[in-house]
Amino acid sequence: RETRFKRPSNRAVAWTGAIVGALVLAIALFLILFDWNYLRGPIGRYASARTGREIVLAGDLQVHAFSLKPSASVQGIRVGNPKWAGPGQTADIKKLDVQVKLLPLLVGQVVLLNLQLDQARVDLLRDRQGRATWDFSNGRKTNKPFEMPPIRRFVINDGHLRIDAQKRRLVLN
């Protein structure tokens, strides 16, 4: 026995197309008009929980999502020291600009087209036990080491880097 499906009427197709089109338009308008600054707190709290240190996005957050090369700009990022390192900041960045390739990102690969830091102050410490302030694993043991994504263009404007390797009794400015 052959099953036949009834072809939908032109009216039903038109209504379905109108609803889908309105939904796509509503989502696009929401993303265009959305104030990304509402996400500064949640992003900072998520990053703080994952890294075991305070991370604050203090300034303006701008996102340009509608592109094959989406970008974001953050004013005022502070990355605190882990608890064992005492009070202070691992990094204080006045402005961070980042741009990624969209298509690789959709399959889980990060390709940074541009990474720019303005007026960045970074203080790195490796103590006598070998703990390092640049280790953001929060004590999690992983079999897979961190792999730095490829960066096509990396710029630091007016930056300062201090490295204190206590075990080697070496300080670099």
Average pLDDT over residues 104-113: 92
Residue 8 has pLDDT above 70, yes or no: yes
Average pLDDT over residues 122-136: 90
Residue 23 has pLDDT above 80, yes or no: yes
Cα dihedral: 39, 41, 47, 49 (round 10): -130
Residue 72 has pLDDT above 70, yes or no: yes
77 exposure class (CB count in 10 Å sphere: 0-12, 13-18, 19+) = buried
The contacts of residue 109 (CB under 8 Å, 6+ apart) are 149
Instruction: Read off the pTM.
Output: 0.75
Residue 140 has pLDDT above 80, yes or no: no
The contacts of residue 53 (CB under 8 Å, 6+ apart) are 79, 80, 81, 82, 83, 90, 136, 138
3-state secondary structure string across the chain: CCCCCCCCCHHHHHHHHHHHHHHHHHHHHHHHHCCHHHHHHHHHHHHHHHHCCCEEECCCEEEECCCCCCEEEEEEEEEECCHHHCCCEEEEEEEEEEEECHHHHHCCCCCEEEEEEEEEEEEEEECCCCCECCCCCCCCCCCCCCCCCCECCEEEECCEEEEEECCCCEEEC
Residue 1 has pLDDT above 80, yes or no: no
Q: For residue 96, what pLDDT is reported?
A: 96
CA distance 165 to 41: 33
